[in-house]
Structure 1
């Protein structure tokens, strides 16, 4: 932005260099955004703000909120502007908080999601989604700037807002797979959100995540293959060391030496991935383990997959009795 100190002197307003420096630091910390109240606290008058706007050296984003440059607003500047516009106690939530935390995901919603105390009424603002929360201060990450709800709260709020159940699961599974949090921590945080929609479904998803499920395909295997057909319970995400490298087995039926690996990539055509999978399967075979590998086809043909797992388990000594999930199910 143009030199505020010189601009203020030109308009006949005396601003000390100390106040000017503090105001410049404040704007830099807030990605160029500031409020009218912040400007006035540093000796900047409405007359100065109006002059800067007319000179196209700043722009107003919301009522009482400005940025110290013109042109398109980066996401971080829009984020700060939204928080400042919503007033004290406001905090990032949902996908905006996840984006700020650096959680990887397909966060296509460019709107800024802001939570405010339940007693506060906020006028609608362009590009801002405002939600009201009781006891919001208890959900906010202490001493974080900009203010944001805790990571687990943001994940649960984001998952709860998804209409598609598979998308809800993906949000939570992905965060656990990225080692950003754990199912146990998410389950504990769920109790602090009694008004969150879909809590029963989220709790079930998190229960599966606590068992080691980390993707939609792994969830489908657990529900449609293993549980639906009465198979023994596998250990999931079993850590192993192969050739000095750490790998994780998707499903391991330990007493029988049977592994079930799930390929989440459609087609799984990438050469490096194929070679890595072959190497892992070969290493398991040399250690006496039998590996079965399934892709997304098991979602549509869970009974066929179950029949193969049953055959492998019986080959390795399982004497249990599977159950058919329907009259036409081939599992016996």
Structure 2
């Protein structure tokens, strides 16, 4: 009985770096003959022609399948590249790969790997497009406005790109999906907006009703807050669908602000800002006025006739 051969150490290390994916070209380059390769393949998954999956299917494996199948010109873009850059927290269900070669789409478990014909400069391993191309050229083309705004806001907040580079990319690319919204967002890059919900709050609640803009991302003795009106002793917290899940901690901070500063905290989530921005504006204006604000809230075109605004 022929003893079972082991994969050379160099290939074992390479497979570990590539999430368990190896190509026939890599096996050949390491000195593995076609006969030996056929024996190894008995325990592997042939995920595409001359492309093998040694372990279970993961999102990372789908990324490597995409770049290895795409060849030397391959570069991941869109939502998958945003995830690699750290702009999106959740793994997307699709991997988009730009390549100069013609390739058909394929599936890695539940993840679709889609190829687009074209030239994109890649960086890193696995190769992915730059933050600017990701945010403005490709992600906007394949994602809704909320996802795109969230990624761009995160990229700006974490200083992974700059407003000038984003605006230059917009200028070169020309009009694209969400380009008007992105241009406005970039113009507020230094105002502390770090999420899609904060952007919605600004554009649906504050701007249309001409309410004052709070100081954003401020630190207090109890932690960081989304917004504060110091003169009025009013805090505003915007709770995204996945944020502020430790409610006891949030309530503790609110209580500390009330006890130490005599401050009031107003909290709003996606439902309130998306479905009732005028009611949110009326409540915020009432809280500000009760604490000394002398400004006037304005009605927007969407305000219902019975709105207190």
Q: Bin the TM-score by the shorter chain.
A: 0.7 to 0.9
Which of residues 5, 9, 18 is equivalent to 1:30?
18
In 1: Cα distance, 2:16 partner to 2:238 partner: 47
- In the TM superposition, residue 228 of structure 1 has moved relative to its aligned partner by 1.4
User: In structure 2, do the counterparts of structure 1 residues 271 and 322 end up closer, same or farther at CA, with 3 Å as the change threshold?
Assistant: closer
1:49 aligns to what SS in structure 2?
helix
1:73 aligns to what SS in structure 2?
coil
In 2: Cα distance, 1:309 partner to 1:76 partner: 44
Q: Please name the residue that 1:283 is paired with.
A: 260
Deviation by residue 1:127-156 (Cα, 9 ceiling, x = unmatched): 22112444x22xx33xx2222223454344
1:50 aligns to what SS in structure 2?
helix
CA RMSD of aligned residues (A): 3.7
Q: Please name the residue that 1:260 is paired with.
A: 236
User: In structure 2, do the counterparts of structure 1 residues 107 and 206 end up closer, same or farther at CA, with 3 Å as the change threshold?
Assistant: farther
- In the TM superposition, residue 124 of structure 1 has moved relative to its aligned partner by 0.1
Q: Please name the residue that 1:271 is paired with.
A: 248
Q: Is the 8 A contact 2:254 2:265 kept in 1?
A: no
Deviation by residue 1:135-182 (Cα, 9 ceiling, x = unmatched): x22xx33xx22222234543443344213x3333334445566x4746
Q: Is the 8 A contact 1:268 1:274 kept in 2?
A: no
In 1: Cα distance, 2:83 partner to 2:204 partner: 33
Q: Is the 8 A contact 1:303 1:329 kept in 2?
A: no
Deviation by residue 1:1-41 (Cα, 9 ceiling, x = unmatched): x5258xxxxxxxxxxxxxx5544544444344333333333
Which of residues 64, 82, 90 is equivalent to 1:80?
64
Q: Please name the residue that 1:131 is paired with.
A: 116
Q: What are the residue-to-residue correspondences of 1:81-230 with 2, within 5 Å?
A: 81-101=65-85, 105-109=89-93, 111-116=94-99, 120-127=100-107, 128-134=113-119, 136-137=120-121, 140-141=122-123, 144-156=124-136, 157-163=138-144, 165-173=145-153, 179=158, 181=160, 184=163, 187-188=166-167, 190-191=169-170, 194=173, 197-208=177-188, 210-230=190-210
Gaps of 5+ in 1: 6-19
Q: Please name the residue that 1:308 is paired with.
A: 283
In 2: Cα distance, 1:175 partner to 1:283 partner: 35
- In the TM superposition, residue 88 of structure 1 has moved relative to its aligned partner by 0.6
Gaps of 5+ in 2: 108-112
- In the TM superposition, residue 204 of structure 1 has moved relative to its aligned partner by 2.6
Q: Is the 8 A contact 2:278 2:307 kept in 1?
A: yes
Q: Please name the residue that 2:5 is paired with.
A: 3
Q: Is the 8 A contact 1:234 1:253 kept in 2?
A: yes
Deviation by residue 1:222-247 (Cα, 9 ceiling, x = unmatched): 2232211222333322x2331xx442
- In the TM superposition, residue 79 of structure 1 has moved relative to its aligned partner by 2.6
Q: Is the 8 A contact 2:238 2:268 kept in 1?
A: yes
Q: Is the 8 A contact 1:241 1:247 kept in 2?
A: yes
- In the TM superposition, residue 192 of structure 1 has moved relative to its aligned partner by 7.7
Q: Is the 8 A contact 1:306 1:331 kept in 2?
A: no
> What is the number of equivalent residue pairs in this alignment?
295
Structure of larger gyration radius: 1
Runs of 4+ in 1 over 6 A off after TM superposition: 266-269
| Deviation larger for 225-234 or 195-204 | 195-204
User: In structure 2, do the counterparts of structure 1 residues 32 and 201 end up closer, same or farther at CA, with 3 Å as the change threshold?
Assistant: same
In 2: Cα distance, 1:329 partner to 1:34 partner: 65
